[in-house]
Structure 1
Amino acid sequence: MLEGINENAVDFRPTYDGSESEPVVLPGMFPNILANGSSGIAVGMATNIPPFNVAELCEASLALLEDDLDAKGLAKIIKGPDFPTGGTLIEPKANIIKAYETGKGAFRMRAKWEREDLKRGTYQIIITEIPYQVQKSRLIEKIAELINARKIPLLDDVCDESAEDIRIVLIPKSGNVDADLLMEALFRSTDLETRFNMNMNVLENGVTPRVMPLKEVLQAWLDHQQVVLVRRSQFRLEKVLHRLEVLEGFLTVFLNIDKVIKIIRTADKPKEELIKAFKLSEIQAEAILNMRLRALNKLQELELQGEHDELSKERDELQKLIASEARQWTMIKKQIKILYEEFGPKTELGKRRTKIGKALEPVDLEQLEEAMIEKEPITVICSAKGWIKAMKGHDIDAKGIKYKDGDRASLVMEAMTTDKVLIFGSNGRFYTLGGDQLPSGRGFGEPVRLMVGLPNDADIIDMQLYDAQAKMIVAADDGRGFIVKMEDVLAQTKNGKQILNVSGKVEAKLCKPIEEGHDHIAVMGQNRKMIVFELAQIP
């Protein structure tokens, strides 16, 4: 990055106290701001640039010099940020292209993990890479906190077996736990998944702060390299011309060695005499006077002539380079290719560390929510006055359950803590309660009306266990009814979901699941007469 710093490649400015000088920018052929990233906060602005892969930056730069690439074309070469801690980038490609176009965006990162099978059908999950800027110790503490709070019931323990490399071991509750589901829960709850917010706010031309697209930042680096190349070439040309001037003076000595020696020995002012006699410059005359006698041999003459010829060729090449922009870009391409060889994808320094993963598919939130609940058997009990509770276990002796004075058992149902309980009110609405949300079996429980929006003038008609594949028949006391799928009555809010419309004195009275294989229904009226007909006749 400092190559050419002493060759007038860049400007210098005084340091803050004026005691020394410092370069305004670094001259080296290395895209440092993109390769290593940068972050900082100033007055009213901030920057946050992720690191990118050097080999990909080189490829993109060469492609940009050949053709006018857009953000989509750049994204085919620069696949995304390349963080030193590895991990997996799961951001959709469209979002990456948008970030390249605008200079702003977010990159979603996940830890890299693998399943390690053990004996007796068990396994453990090994995390080998974590997202950029995530502190490992704090991450493990967070996972341990979730385990202790029983918020990740699928996970039994976490161990740190890291040495030089990261090795975080996750131990599931059993071998039946879905590893993908467990990791999805952890990604949502911990820094095993993070977002890097890119804000490519840079100083344009070293003066004006501006959020620049990736293409413009790359082009600015290439333009800077052109300026550096020209300034270094001019600096070298000046050195070459100076040396050629001295060499031409030396060669003049060899052609007129006797006369030169005589002038030096006899003249009062040999410098002026040499300049006058051989039309030399002051620089040449001074160099001749400083020349040692041992340098006046034939071998030295040949060496000086050879050096003169080589420097003459270099002078011509430098003059052509400075005069031709096409030659300058050809030289820059060669330098980028040399950089690519040093940081190529097959080298230890240049290999990509961050894996490019597939964009996330939609997650089954219901299944994920269920996975976050510890699965335990419960018996749900709802009293006649609408008090509900969940007692641990099945096969509960209903006779031993205590109720408030004047209250009694009404609805009893066996379930699991991961189940959803449907409550049907006389107002024709269905309400949904999670099995894990029900009050414990100690005491009398809690009124259902405090948990859902069941009005005071409505009663609880029935309570059912939710089954997405099941159907129910619902009816009002005026004889209206129909078949409804359970998945259609599931309520997402506390206010429930209106399924059966009732008004006035009419109330909902019936809610019964239709068991598999049953195809007829029997209905008895207040006149004590019964009618039987096919279920297919019910809408």
Structure 2
Amino acid sequence: SVSFAFKAGDGLYSTFECRTVDTLLVFGSNGRVYSVPVAALPGARGDGQPVTTLIELESGTQVLHYFAGPASAALLLSSSGGYGFLATVESMVSRNKSGKAFISLGEGETVCRPSHAQGSTSAQPLLPATHVACASTGGRILTFEISELKQMDKGGRGLMLIDLEPKDALAGAAAYTRSVRIEGIGRGGKAREETLEIRSLNNARAARARKGKAADLGFKPTGITRVE
């Protein structure tokens, strides 16, 4: 096994099994997407390299999310305002270090974690997702068929995923076939998570852009990821 040392305050975001012909996508807080060829990344023997040396972030912009995979992979992209769409990795690749404007955000909105919807990597067979699960920070869950979404390879705001109450926000949206994991914060600031299987997800099924159902999670959702 291999262990990695992190600087104080740092931690692991995620790991991606990929090939040197694949692309690393970097998602900024301003809705821009930056791309780095996986072949350009340093090997695992050293301490790595700050991603900010590989891309040109706009002043005041933070890196929020990452994804690495083949050009044909499709991602579900969403914003805290409750909107989202599908796009391929290939469509987000830019030759410029300054990236490309891709996810349109309203005032005060942020980019949610991208969800791998389709397109296997060489090491990870992945069934094409059939449904989408949305989780709001207020604890509402909505699921619907992924066919209700549009693929927008030029980016944009997308379609409304969930109808949010005025003070609610989308914690995240995940493409799935059978199960998702909801992460959040419970009492005393403790990290919590719960996996929802197909029966629970089907109970929250409706059409896209509905309000969803209140979920008895016992914690405030902060994100959602695909399990299967």
Task: Please indicate, yes or no, whether the TM-score normalized by the shorter chain is above 0.5.
Answer: yes
**Paired letter, 2:141:** M
Q: For 2:53 and 2:128, how far apart are their aligned partners in 1?
A: 38
Inter-CA distance 518–503: structure 2 relative to 1 (3 Å threshold):
closer
Matched, 1:493 2:80: no
Deviations 1:17-37 (A, max 9, x none): xxxxxxxxxxxxxxxxxxxxx
**Paired letter, 1:430:** V
CA contact (8 A) 1:524 1:531 kept: yes
1:116-131 pair list within 5 angstroms: none
Q: CA deviation at 1:408?
A: 1.6
Inter-CA distance 443–470: structure 2 relative to 1 (3 Å threshold):
closer
1:38-77 pair list within 5 angstroms: none
Deviations 1:34-84 (A, max 9, x none): xxxxxxxxxxxxxxxxxxxxxxxxxxxxxxxxxxxxxxxxxxxxxxxxxxx
1:67-216 pair list within 5 angstroms: none
Match of 2:74 among 460, 471, 476: 471
CA contact (8 A) 1:462 1:511 kept: yes
Match of 2:27 among 417, 420, 424: 424
SS of residue in 2 equivalent to 1:508: coil
Deviations 1:76-109 (A, max 9, x none): xxxxxxxxxxxxxxxxxxxxxxxxxxxxxxxxxx
Q: CA deviation at 1:503?
A: 4.6
Match of 1:483 among 65, 86, 89: 86
**Paired letter, 1:484:** A
Q: CA deviation at 1:418?
A: 3.0
Inter-CA distance 456–408: structure 2 relative to 1 (3 Å threshold):
farther
Inter-CA distance 468–419: structure 2 relative to 1 (3 Å threshold):
closer
Matched, 1:523 2:134: yes
1:255-270 pair list within 5 angstroms: none
SS of residue in 2 equivalent to 1:505: coil
Q: CA deviation at 1:456?
A: 5.1
Matched, 1:412 2:23: no
SS of residue in 2 equivalent to 1:416: coil
1:267-416 pair list within 5 angstroms: 397=2, 400-416=3-19
Q: CA deviation at 1:415?
A: 2.1
Inter-CA distance 536–454: structure 2 relative to 1 (3 Å threshold):
same
SS of residue in 1 equivalent to 2:53: helix
Matched, 1:536 2:142: no
Q: For 1:460 and 1:412, how far apart are their aligned partners in 2?
A: 16
Q: For 2:20 and 2:30, how far apart are their aligned partners in 1?
A: 27
Question: What's the counterpart of residue 435 of structure 1?
Answer: 38
Q: CA deviation at 1:470?
A: 2.2
CA contact (8 A) 2:23 2:71 kept: no
Q: CA deviation at 1:532?
A: 0.9
**Paired letter, 2:143:** V
Higher relative contact order (CA 8 A, sep 6+): 2
Deviations 1:452-494 (A, max 9, x none): 0123533333322232322111011111111112221111110
Q: For 1:470 and 1:419, how far apart are their aligned partners in 2?
A: 10
Question: What's the counterpart of residue 504 of structure 1?
Answer: 107
- Identify the structure with the greater helix proportion: 1
Q: CA deviation at 1:506?
A: 1.4
SS of residue in 2 equivalent to 1:454: coil
Computing the radius of gyration from Cα coordinates, the structure with the larger value is 1
SS of residue in 1 equivalent to 2:112: strand
**Paired letter, 1:536:** S
Q: For 1:467 and 1:435, how far apart are their aligned partners in 2?
A: 10
The TM-score with structure 1 as length reference comes to 0.25
SS of residue in 2 equivalent to 1:415: coil
SS of residue in 1 equivalent to 2:17: strand
Give structure 1 stretches of 5+ with no counterpart.
1-395
Inter-CA distance 462–442: structure 2 relative to 1 (3 Å threshold):
same
Deviations 1:345-392 (A, max 9, x none): xxxxxxxxxxxxxxxxxxxxxxxxxxxxxxxxxxxxxxxxxxxxxxxx
Inter-CA distance 436–523: structure 2 relative to 1 (3 Å threshold):
same
* Matched residues, number: 142
Deviations 1:106-145 (A, max 9, x none): xxxxxxxxxxxxxxxxxxxxxxxxxxxxxxxxxxxxxxxx
CA contact (8 A) 1:449 1:455 kept: no
**Paired letter, 1:535:** I
CA contact (8 A) 1:452 1:495 kept: yes
